[in-house]
Structure 1
Amino acid sequence: MLHATGPLLTVDVGERAATATTIDETLETYVGGRALATALAHDRIPFDADPFGSENRAYLTTGPLQQSGMSFTGRLNMTGLSPLTDGLVSTNAGGYLSRNLVATGISGLEIVGESDDLLIVHVTDEGVEFEPVPELEGATVPETSDYVATHHDLGPEHCIAIGPAGENLVRFASVMTFDSRAFGRGGLGAVLGSKNVKCVTFDGDVEPGLEVEIPDPPESAVHREAATSDDLMRRQGTTGGTEFINDNFSLPTRYFAEYEFEAVASIGGDAVEDKKYKKGACSACAYACKLPTRDDESGLETEGPEFETVYSFGSLQGVGDIVDVMKGNELCDVLGMDTISAGVTVAAYLASEDAFGDAELAHEITEKIAYREGIGDLLAEGVDRAHEDLGVENYTVKGMEFAAHDGRVIHGQGLSYAVANRGADHMYSSMLSLEYRGELDPEGTLGKADTLVERENHAAFRDSGIVCAFGSDYVTAERLETLFDADYDDLLEVGAKTVTLERHFNNERGFDGADDDLPYDLPDLETAIREYYDARGWTDDGTVPAAALESAVPADD
C-alpha cells in the first residue's frame, strides 16, 4: 500500500532539542496523516495527560499524496489531546504548507514539552533552530506572518502560527496556516500556546516524489477534471447549498431555537459570491473553491465565509448581513479561533442577553474571548463549561459545539454526532451528504449503523492519504484503489484502526457510552447506538475490547 515516507521529527521545546526517528513500519501500517498521528499519539501521549501539560503532544503529519501534483491534496493533518473535548482530536487544513513540509524530508512533526520563552521553531532539511520571540507576545496571526517574512524571507505558506487566542489558552483556539486556513476544531492552537510555541516554519529542498510514485492515471485525470468542472462549489464554496438546506431541512437559527432563517438570502451563496473578488485555491489544486471576499464600502477583506461560518456567525446569532458575517470570520482568522465553536459560543451569549442580531456586540465579544477579557474569560472555556452560568442549553457533544448540519432533522447525522470520538463535528462521517441528496432517508436512526461505520472509516482514511473532502466526486473509491495500490476494503481497514485507537484512547481517559449522547431526542437513538457498537465490535458500554484493540495495533508494537 502506498504510504508517506520520511522520519518523524520530534521537537522538545523545553529542552530545545530535535530528534529524527525512522518510523517505516508504522507508516506501512497507517499510511500517513490522521492514522499515523493517531497511532503515535495513542502510543506516546500518557492516557492521563493534561491537555495543557508538557506531556501532551501535537502532531503535524502528511500523507503520500502530498508528494504528488494532484488536485485535492494540498492539505495536512494535526492531532493532539484536545483541551475542548478532553479526548483525542484530529483536524486538517488546506493552503500551501503541505509541499513545504514535504520539502524538509519528514513525514511528521511531533511537538512536546513546554518552553519558558515564546518561540518560533524553524524546521529545514538541514535541522531545527529555536528562536525566542518575546516581541511577538499577543501578536495576531498576520503580524506573526509579517515578522517571519521580514526576518526570514518566508511567506505564510511556510508557517503554522497561533494568535492571541492560542496564547491565552482559549479552548477552541485554532492553528493557522497561510493566515486564513485553519486547523480549526478541538483547540490545538491552545495546545501550542501551552507550549509557548508561537509559530513553526518549514523550508527545504527535498524534491517531492523521490520515494513515492503516484499512478498516472488517475493523477492527471483528476487534475484535468478539477480544472474543467462547473460545480457550484467552485464559485460559492460550501455556501452554495445554504438556501437549499434552510428551505428543505434546517439552518439552526437564534441558538437552535428556530430551524430556518428569514434572512438566509442575504448571507447565502449568492451573497458570498457577490463579494468574491478573485479565485482562491490550495497547493497544486485546480479546483479553486476558496472564497477571497471583499466589501468595497468598508474595505474589509477576508477569505470566506464558508457555510459553517455563515451558520455560526449568521443565522445562529440572528445576523442577516453578509458583511457582518465576513467580519466575524476575519476576527477568528486574525485572532486564531475556530469559527464554528467561537460563533456558537457567542450565539449562546447573545441568547443569554436576548441580543440576537446585534452584530457589533457579537464582534466585541469575539475579541474579548481571544484575550479572555471580562465575560470573554468564561466564554473562552466553550459552551459545555459556560452554559450553566449563561443559563442556556448545552448544545455540545463531548464538549464540542455543533456544526451547522442539524441532527434534529437529518437523523443519521445526529447519530453520527452522538457516537463520534471527536464530538459534534460534521466531517467525522459526513452522513449529512447522503441525507441531503436523498440517498439515505433523513428520518430515523435505526439501520444506519453499517453505513455510518463505512463513512467514518472512509473519512479517516481520506484524512490519512491525505485527500480533500471536496474531491470525493473526483477521487472515487476506484481511483483510491489505484492511487494506493490496495483494495478499497483494505483502505477502509486503515480507517477502522484509526477510529478504534481514538476510541480506546478516550476510553482510557474515562469516556464510555454515557458520553455518546445528544442534547435532544431522536427516535430509537439508544438502540441505534447499540447497533453502531455491534457493527464496530465494541462492548455495550461503548468501550473497545482487547480483541478489537489488538487488531488496530500491529503485533510488533
Structure 2
Amino acid sequence: MIHAEGPLLTIDVSDRTTRTEDVDDVLESFVGGRGVATKLAHDRIPFDADPLGPENSLFFSTGPLQMSRMSFTGRMNCTGLSPLTGGLLSSNAGGFLSRNFTGAGNAVVEITGRSDELLAIHVTDDGVEFEEVPELDGATVSETGDVMAERHGLGDDQLAVAGPAGENAVRFAAIVTTEHRAFGRGGLGAVLGSKGVKCVSFDGDAAPDVDIDAISMDIHREAATDDDNPMKAAGTTSVTEYANHVGALPTRYFSELEFEGAADIGGDAVGDKKYKKGTCSQCAFACKLPTRDEETGLETEGPEYETVMSFGSNAGVDDVVSVMKSNDLCDDLGMDTISCGDAVSAYLAAEDEFGNSDLIHELVEKIAYREGVGDLLAEGVARAHDELGVEDWTVKGLEFAAHDGRHLNGQGLAFATSNRGADHMYAEFYSKEYPLVGKDEAVDPEGLDGKPPLVAEKENHNAILDSGVVCKFSRDFLTEERLEKLLDADYDDLQAIGARVVELERHFNNRRGFDRADDALPYDLPNFESALDEYYEVRGWNDDGTVPESRISGGSDAASADD
C-alpha cells in the first residue's frame, strides 16, 4: 500500500525542544493525513486532557498524494482535541501549504506544550527555529503574513496562523493559511493560540519520493478540461438556489428552510463578483472564488456555500457584499465562518435583528477580541444558547453546516453520527440526496430506510480521502478503481482502514464521556432511533454508541469485522 513517508517531528514549545521518531508502522497502517494523525493523537493525548492545556497536541500531516502532481491534492490535515466539542477532531485545509510542509521532510509535525512567550516556529529541512514575536500579539492573519514576508521572505502559502481569535481562545477559532484557506472547524486555532504560538512556517526541499500511479495525470487532465462543471464558475455556491428550491437552506437561525433572498447571495451573485480563477496547489479544477466588489473595494476569496448560509440566509442577509465582508473578517481574524455565522445568527434571533449587516460585522470583531457580548458568543452556541434564550442548534457542540437534514434525512443521520459533530463533510451524505452524484448512487432524501450502512460507508470512504489526502470534490473523477491504483490497495482494505480511523475517534470520545446521548439532533426524523441502532450494528459498536474495548485492543482488523 502507498503511504506517506517521513518521520514524526515533535515540537515541545514549553522548553523549546524537538525530537524526531520513526512512525513507519503507523504510516503503513493508516496511509497518512487524518488516519495517521488520529492514531497518534489517540495514543499520545491523555483522554482527560484540557483542550486548551499544554497536554493537548496538534498534529499537522499530509498523505502520499501530496507527492503527486494530481489535481485535488492541494490539501492537508490537522488533528487535535477540540475546545468547542471536547472531542478528538480533524480539520482539513486547502491552498498551497501542503507542498511546503512536505518540503520540510516530515510526514507529521506534532506541536505540544505551552510557551510563556508568543512564538513563531519555523520548520525547515534543516531543523526548527523558535522566534519570539511579542510584537505580533493581537495581529491579524494578514498583518502576521506581512511581518513574516518582510522579516524572512516567507509567503502566506508557507504559514499556518492563529489570528486574534486563536490567541483569545475563541472556541471556534481557525488556523489560517494562504490568507483565506482554513483548518476551520472545531477551534484548532484556539489550541494553537493556547500554546503561545502565533504561526508555524514550513519550507525546504526534502520532499520524499513516493511512487504514484500514472493515472494521476489522467485525473489532472480531466479536471482541467471539465468546463461544464458548475463548481468551476461559482464553487460550492452553485448549489445555493437548488438547496433553497428543495427546502434545505437553513434560514433565520434554522427557523425556516427557504430564503426569499437566495438568488441575491447564491451562485450567480457570487460569480458576478469573481474576477479571476483561483485554485489550490497543483489543482487544475480551479473551483476557488477570488471576489471583488468594485464599489467598496472589498477584495477577498469566497464566500463558499456554507458561508452564504451562515452569514446570509441564516442571518437574514440578502446582500452578497455583506456576506463577502463577513467572510473576509473571519479569515483575517481567524475564525470558522460556519460556527461564527451561526453564533451571530443566534444572537440576531434573540434580539430580533435579522438582516442587520452593520451589527453582524460588529459582532464578528467583538467575538474575535471577546469584547462585550462577543465574549459569550465566542463560547459557541452550545454554551451560549441558554443565556440568549434560543435553541441549541449544534451536535456534540459543533454548529450546523448547511444541507439541512430536515429535508435531506440521511444527511441528518450523518450529522448525528459524525464524531466531529454537525459537519457536512464527515460523511458528505447530502451528495447522494440532492443528488450531486449519478443515478446509480443517488437515494431518495426522504426517510432513513437503508441509509445507515450507506452513511457508515461514506464515513469510511471520506476518512481514506482525508488520509490520502484528497479533496472531496474529486468525486466525479476519483473512482474506487482509481483510488485502488493510486494507493496500491484493494478498496475493501481501504474501507477497513477508514472504519478504523472512525472507530479510534469514537473510542477517544467515548473515553471522554461521549455516548449515544450525544448522537442526537434538535429535530425529529422518522425512525431515527432504529436507524441509530442499525448504524451501531453495522459498526459493531455497543447499543449505547460506545466502542467495545476489545475492538481497540484487538488491533487494526477489529474495525472491519462488520463493515
Match of 1:460, SS?
A: helix
CA distance in 2: counterparts of 1:427 and 1:233, whole angstroms: 16
SS state at 2:299 partner: strand
Counterparts in 2 of 1:13-28, with a 5 A limit? Answer: 13-28=13-28
* Conservation of the 8 A alpha-carbon contact between 2:102 and 2:208: no
- Alignment partner of 1:221 is 2:233: no
Structure 2: 5+ residue stretches without partners: 559-563
Count of residues in correspondence between the two structures: 552
- Partner deviation per Cα, 1:315-371 (whole Å, 9 max, x = no partner): 000000000000000000000000000000000000000000001101100110000
- Residue 117 of structure 2: aligned partner: 117
Which amino acid letter does the alignment assign opposite residue 303 of structure 1? Answer: E
CA–CA distance in structure 2, aligned partners of residues 173 and 248 of structure 1: 32
Q: Equivalents in 2 of 1:291, 1:550: separation in Å? A: 46
Letter in 2 for 1:539: N
Alignment correspondent of 2:432:
434
TM-score norm. by structure 1 comes to: 0.98
Aligned-partner SS, 2:391: coil
1:243 aligns with 2:241: yes
Q: Is the CA contact 2:541–2:547 (under 8 Å) kept in the aligned structure 1?
A: yes
Distance 2:152 2:387 in 1: 46
- Tell me the CA shift for residue 472 of structure 1: 1.2
Return the alpha-carbon distance in structure 1 between the equivalents of residues 99 and 255 of structure 2.
44
User: Equivalents in 2 of 1:363, 1:552: separation in Å?
Assistant: 50
Give the C-alpha shift of residue 554 in structure 1.
8.0
Query: Following superposition, which runs of at least 4 residues in structure 1 exceed 2 angstroms of deviation?
Result: 550-555
Bigger Cα displacement from structure 2, 74-83 vs 446-455: 446-455
What displacement does 1:551 show?
Answer: 4.6
Matching residue of 1:292 = 290
| Per-residue Cα deviation, 1:248-293 (whole angstroms, up to 9, x for no partner) | 2321110011110001110000000000000001001111110000
| C-alpha displacement of 1:46 | 0.1
Query: How far apart in 2 are the matches of 1:442 and 1:241?
Result: 16
Structure 1 residue 445 displacement after superposition:
1.6
- Distance in 1 (CA, whole Å) between partners of 2:533 and 2:41 is 27
Partner amino acid, structure 1, of 2:404 = D
Q: 1:548: how far off? A: 2.2
User: Equivalent residues in 2 for 1:321-332 (5 A)?
Assistant: 321-332=319-330
1:136 aligns with 2:139: no
Cα deviation, 1:383-424, whole Å, max 9, x if unaligned, reads: 000000000000000000000110111110000111111000
**One of 538, 541, 556 as aligned partner of 2:541:** 538
Equivalent residue, structure 2, for 1:343: 341
- Paired with 1:101 and 1:360, the residues of 2 have a C-alpha distance of 39
Q: Matched residues in 1 for 2:110 and 2:6: separation?
A: 13
5 Å-filtered alignment, 1:390-401, equals 390-401=388-399
CA distance in 2, matches of 1:81, 1:468: 23
Distance 2:257 2:205 in 1: 52
C-alpha distance in structure 1 between counterparts of 2:325 and 2:555, whole Å? 44
What secondary structure is seen at the aligned counterpart in 1 of 2:525?
Answer: coil
RMSD: 1.0
TM-score where L is the length of structure 2: 0.97
> SS at 1:128's partner residue?
strand
Q: Which amino acid aligns with 2:327?
A: N
Question: 1:126, 1:209 → 2: CA distance?
Answer: 15
Q: Percent identity?
A: 64
Match of 2:561 in 1: none
CA contact (8 A) 2:114 2:195 kept: yes
User: Could you tell me how far apart the structure 2 residues matched to 1:514 and 1:233 are?
Assistant: 37
Give 1:67's aligned amino acid.
Answer: M
AA matched with 1:527: S
CA separation in 1, counterparts of 2:554 and 2:232?
Answer: 41
In the alignment, does 2:484 pair up with 1:481?
A: yes
Find 2:269's aligned residue among 268, 271, 275: 271
What residue identity is the alignment partner of 1:302? T
User: How much has 1:446 moved relative to structure 2?
Assistant: 2.9
SS for the counterpart of 1:472 is helix
CA distance in 2, matches of 1:459, 1:108: 20
After TM superposition, give the deviation of residue 209 of structure 1 in Å: 5.0
- Check whether the contact 1:141–1:335 (CA below 8 A) recurs between aligned residues: yes
What CA distance in whole angstroms lies between the structure 2 residues aligned with 1:60 and 1:512? 28
What is residue 353 of structure 1 aligned with on the other side?
A: 351
Aligned partners of 1:548, 1:458: CA distance in 2, in Å? Answer: 20
Per-residue CA distance 1:143-197 (angstroms, 9 max, x = gap): 0011110000010011100100000000000000001000000000000011011
The answer to whether the 8 A contact 1:501-1:552 is kept is: no
Aligned ranges 1:30-41 → 2 under 5 Å: 30-41=30-41
Query: 1:497 touches 1:551 (CA, 8 Å); kept in 2?
Result: no
Contact 2:6 2:208 in 1 (8 A): no
Q: What's 1:172 paired with?
A: 172
AA partner of residue 355 (structure 2): G
In the other structure, the counterpart of 1:78 is 78
Q: 8 Å contact 1:75–1:97 — kept in the other structure?
A: yes
Q: Is the 8 A contact 2:414 2:427 kept in 1?
A: yes
SS of equivalent to 1:428: coil
